[in-house]
Amino acid sequence: MLVTELRLGELLAEGGEGRVFEVAAGDPGVPRPGPVMVYKQLRRPRPRLDLSLLCAVPAVAAGRDEAVCRRILSSSAWPAAAVVDDHDARLALGALMPRAPAEFWLRHRDGLLRLATLSYLAGDPDRMAVAYGVTLPQPGAAERVALVYALARLLDAWQGGAGPLVVHGDLSAKNVLWSLRPAPAVYVLDCDGAVIGGAPGEPDGGAATDDLARPGLLRATTPNWDDPALPPGGVPTEASDRYVLGLVFLRVVGAAHFPLQGRQRAHVRVNVDLDLPRSWRKFPDMPGLWEMCERSLSLVNAAERPTPAQWAAALEDLLDVLGATEMATRARAAQGDERPARPARGGAVPGSQGPGLGALALTAVTVPDVVVRPVLRHRAVATWQLIGAGPALSGAAGGRNPGLSGMAAPTPRQMARRTLTTWAAAHGLAARLVRLPGRRLNGLRRLVGVLVLDVAAACGVLFLVGMAVSPWIGL
Amino acid sequence: MASQYLGTEERYAVFPFYLCLDVSQSMAGPPIDEVNAELPQLRASVGQDPAVAEVIRFGIVTFSDVARTILGLADLALVQSMPRVEVEGRTSYASAFEHLRRVIEADYHAGRAAGERWYRPAVLFVSDGRPTDPEERWLEAHRRLVDPAWRRHPNILAFGFGEAVPEILATVAENKPNRAYVAAAGAAPSAVVPELMAGLVQSIVSSSASAYTGAPQLVPPQLPNMQAIPVDELE
């Protein structure tokens, strides 16, 4: 449709790629009945054909069964129509796409609704509660796993089974929305940059400038969510989406931003500590899960990254163990495709591409360049470290959780680092205990707090040593 | 194979931004009104985006005859409302630079005491006029602010409009390329200020995104001839 046929409403959002406007309800270009539409105005126009290829639903539906199509359309803002320039119909200025459904918006304390992006889940939930008044599940909660599961199933619908391969190429915390009510679900934005069939849409011959004819240059990437194996300007493949899926698992389940890409280089191994609640100790196949995570995030073995189907099967297992099977069931129902991803024990399952979690654990042979190590602990880290005499000490006594088969003992270097961290946390707590309003003499107060703690600790140790040796020296 | 450690104990460093705003008499009328209209928008854009707010700390220093902190360095997600800016007297650059040095030093130590790590702070210097204090005085104050021997010395982006002198702004920005911006002569402040504030927001948001990569940069607004400046982390 022509851009002059649109009647634009309120500006809803503005980002690096363009601006998103409401579209007036009576607009003749808006399909009805159907979802409420928005108009995404691109900062840089692109060849219409390139965008039009994406817009037609048959483009993603070809070769896929109805349930898989439902899964795609229920979970993504798939572009519905290209909007072209009045003077040059070969240039697309933007696209119409569905507005995110109501369940994917969060109401802040100020009463305004904002898109429920994964950014909320990739930060400290306690801070989010204080800052915005939103209540989020704690790190490691089954709800977080269920959201990653929903995303894995969407990617599986795009990239697994029959039909043309669909690669999003710019999955990030800002492009993936989430909802837990009425069921765990995700909704992916900015699908207008997707690559279908393994190659981007051919540019409209002759209409495009040189830049427009090179799709790699048009691609938006989000810092800290890009695939380090993809060269700058390169056209993303399914391996890029698989990398981000591993990253989403790490950041959403761990509720923290891990600045991973900045450290990933050839011949460098990155060791990642992932804090999790102690309820995870019940999971028997931890090594397989972490290995899957490591393979997803690998820089050197990008071609070996697990498929979304493998992730979905593994996460179904995990949800079972966490006692949240019904969450997986509800997530599937919300996507309109109730078939589970994993094979029934000993049987084949439609849509599943690979072995489940247990089998995967037996197949890895390469040395990983990313090592993910789960660290099970209570939520109040500093306090727990003080009471429990520090993780390094318990680690030295046979591992943090001796009963947990998946836990490896920390290396001496990690133990030393954690001991220092524990001691620093103890000092910080001591300093806070003597902190009074105002900033004057803060350094002196901190020094006093630290001295009190150190002297008390030294007295305690001396007392214990004295008690232990007193029988031997005749006292 | 070399090895790096990445634990959740490792907190992100925060990226402090100080808006250093000229509130001399020449800002009276539309410029100051526009600033007051735009500050809540800045709070909404930076503070209400969880990914941005987590890493950005923002403070406002105003200067005229004297400089004062009207918003202490804060997490904008936790700031309920932005202060209103009032017009005062003359344009003392020296007061601004001396005050900034004191504030940055104090905020840095307070942040360290609270367990924060800091990236090198950024000062967004906005003025619509030339300094009214003696040249040698404000130059000396500026020299102390950007003194490389002072480990907390900030990166400065300078923006001017109205009667601001490009050469002076370039000096404020240490004569480094792509750090000073002056509006076209005769441009109406009522048009310049909103554009400038929107640019500052975009600069802060883009800089926050780079901070998550572990290779932070101070990203200037999308204005002609500006490019990203590498920023190092304080020890």
> DSSP readout, A170-230?
---TTTEEEE-SSS-EEEE--GGG-EETTBPPPP-TTTS-TTTT-HHHH----TTSS-TTS
pLDDT category at A348 given cuts 50, 70, 90 is very low
How many domains are there within chain A? 2
Domain-located, residue A388? yes
Are B132 and B88 spatial neighbours (Cβ–Cβ below 8 Å)? Answer: no
Do A443 and B113 count as a contact with CB atoms less than 8 A apart?
yes
Do B50 and A128 count as a contact with CB atoms less than 8 A apart?
yes
Best of B8, B56, B195, B232 to substitute, by most chain A Cβ atoms within 10 angstroms, is B8
> Do A298 and A388 belong together in one domain?
no
CA distance A23 to chain B (A): 23
Summarize the confidence of residues A132-141 as an average pLDDT: 90
- Tell how strand A37-47 and strand A18-23 pair up: antiparallel
> Do A363 and A385 belong together in one domain?
no
- Residue B226: is its pLDDT beyond 60? no
**Structural domain boundaries, residue A355:** 103-374
pLDDT of residue A432: 59
3-state secondary structure of A126: helix
Residues from chain B contacting residue A275 (CB–CB below 8 Å): 8
Could you tell me if B109 lies within 8 Å of chain A, comparing CB atoms?
Answer: yes
Q: Which two tokens stand for residue A108?
A: 């802040």
Domain-located, residue B182? yes
Task: Compute φ and ψ for B75, nearest 5 degrees.
Answer: -80, 115
Domain-located, residue B143? yes
CATH of the domain at B176: 3.40.50.410
Q: Final residue of a domain: which of A317, A348, A374?
A: A374
Domain-located, residue A424? yes
Nearest partner of A6 among A127, A94, A132, judged by Cα: A94
> Do A468 and A340 belong together in one domain?
no
The more confident residue out of A51 and B81 is B81
> Per residue in B50-93, pLDDT tens?
888 888 999 999 999 999 999 999 999 888 889 999 988 888 99
CA distance B194 to chain A (A): 16
Q: Final residue of a domain: which of A374, A405, A421?
A: A374
Q: What share of chain A is helix, strand, coil (3-state, %, to 5)?
A: 40, 15, 45
Are A276 and A249 spatial neighbours (Cβ–Cβ below 8 Å)? Answer: no
CA distance B42 to chain A (A): 14
State which of A91-100, A164-173, B98-107, B187-196 shows the largest mean pLDDT: B98-107
Q: How far apart are the C-alpha atoms of A80 and A20, rounded to whole Å?
A: 14
- Residue A252: is its pLDDT beyond 60? yes
> Per residue in B123-161, pLDDT tens?
999 998 889 999 999 999 999 999 999 999 999 998 888
Domain-located, residue B125? yes
Task: Compute φ and ψ for B225, nearest 5 degrees.
Answer: 60, 30
Could you tell me if B113 lies within 8 Å of chain A, comparing CB atoms?
Answer: yes
Summarize the confidence of residues B204-218 as an average pLDDT: 79
Domain-located, residue A242? yes
Q: How far apart are the C-alpha atoms of A386 and A423, rounded to whole Å?
A: 8
Query: What is the predicted ipTM?
Result: 0.79
> Per residue in A16-50, pLDDT tens?
677 888 886 555 555 555 567 888 888 777 776 66
pLDDT of residue B138: 94
Task: Compute φ and ψ for A410, nearest 5 degrees.
Answer: -70, 155
> Do A352 and A211 belong together in one domain?
yes
> Do A347 and A226 belong together in one domain?
yes
Could you tell me if B46 lies within 8 Å of chain A, comparing CB atoms?
Answer: no
Q: How far is CA A218 from CA A166, A194, B94, B227, in A?
A: 17, 11, 46, 20
* Among candidates B8, B78, B109 on the partner chain, residue whose Cβ is nearest the Cβ of A254: B8
Residues from chain A contacting residue B7 (CB–CB below 8 Å): 272-273, 375, 417
Domain-located, residue A22? no
Summarize the confidence of residues A345-363 as an average pLDDT: 41
> Do A468 and A394 belong together in one domain?
yes
Q: How far apart are the C-alpha atoms of A431 and B9, rounded to whole Å?
A: 18
Summarize the confidence of residues B181-206 as an average pLDDT: 82
Domain-located, residue B174? yes
Torsion of CA A189, A191, A192, A196, to 10 degrees: 180
How many domains are there within chain B? 1
pLDDT of residue A468: 86
Residues in chain B: 235
For chain B, state the CA radius of gyration: 17
Could you tell me if B53 lies within 8 Å of chain A, comparing CB atoms?
Answer: yes
Residues from chain B contacting residue A269 (CB–CB below 8 Å): 1-4
> Do A338 and A295 belong together in one domain?
yes
> Per residue in A216-231, pLDDT tens?
344 566 778 888 888 8
Could you tell me if B110 lies within 8 Å of chain A, comparing CB atoms?
Answer: yes
Interface of A with B in 78-137 (CB under 8 A): 108, 110, 112, 114, 117, 119-120, 122-124, 127-128, 130-132
Domain-located, residue B104? yes
> Per residue in B8-31, pLDDT tens?
545 567 899 999 999 999 888 888
> Do A189 and A309 belong together in one domain?
yes
Are A41 and A94 spatial neighbours (Cβ–Cβ below 8 Å)? Answer: yes
Task: Compute φ and ψ for A375, nearest 5 degrees.
Answer: -120, 110
- Residue A393: is its pLDDT beyond 80? no
Domain-located, residue A394? yes
> Do A333 and A441 belong together in one domain?
no
pLDDT category at A205 given cuts 50, 70, 90 is very low
Cα B195 from chain centroid?
Answer: 16
Interface of A with B in 145-174 (CB under 8 A): 173-174
Q: How far apart are the C-alpha atoms of B85 and B79, rounded to whole Å?
A: 16
> Do A234 and A271 belong together in one domain?
yes
Q: To the nearest whole percent, how much of chain A has pLDDT over 90?
A: 17
Residues from chain A contacting residue B50 (CB–CB below 8 Å): 117, 119-120, 123, 128, 131-132
Q: How far is CA A98 from CA A30, A70, A91, A187, A321, in A?
A: 10, 15, 21, 11, 36
> Do A306 and A391 belong together in one domain?
no
Q: How far is CA A458 from CA A455, A461, A462, in A?
A: 5, 5, 6
- Residue A439: is its pLDDT beyond 70? no
Q: Chain A: residue nearest B216 by CA?
A: A262
Domain-located, residue A123? yes
Do A375 and B75 count as a contact with CB atoms less than 8 A apart?
no
Helix orientation angle between A238-248 and A142-159, rounded to the nearest 10 degrees: 170
Q: Final residue of a domain: which of A346, A374, A402?
A: A374
* Among candidates B1, B12, B77 on the partner chain, residue whose Cβ is nearest the Cβ of A268: B1
**Structural domain boundaries, residue B184:** 23-230
Summarize the confidence of residues B178-201 as an average pLDDT: 81
pLDDT of residue A407: 33
CATH of the domain at A191: 1.10.510.10
Could you tell me if A414 lies within 8 Å of chain B, comparing CB atoms?
Answer: yes
> Per residue in B34-50, pLDDT tens?
899 999 988 988 888 88
> Do A211 and A282 belong together in one domain?
yes
Summarize the confidence of residues A449-453 as an average pLDDT: 80
Domain-located, residue B9? no
pLDDT category at B95 given cuts 50, 70, 90 is very high
Bridge partners of A186, per DSSP, are A178
Task: Compute φ and ψ for A256, nearest 5 degrees.
Answer: -160, 155
Compute the half-sphere exposure of residue A240: CA atoms within 13 Å on the CB side of its CA. Answer: 26
Q: Chain B: residue nearest A15 by CA?
A: B202
Residue B64 is given by DSSP the state S
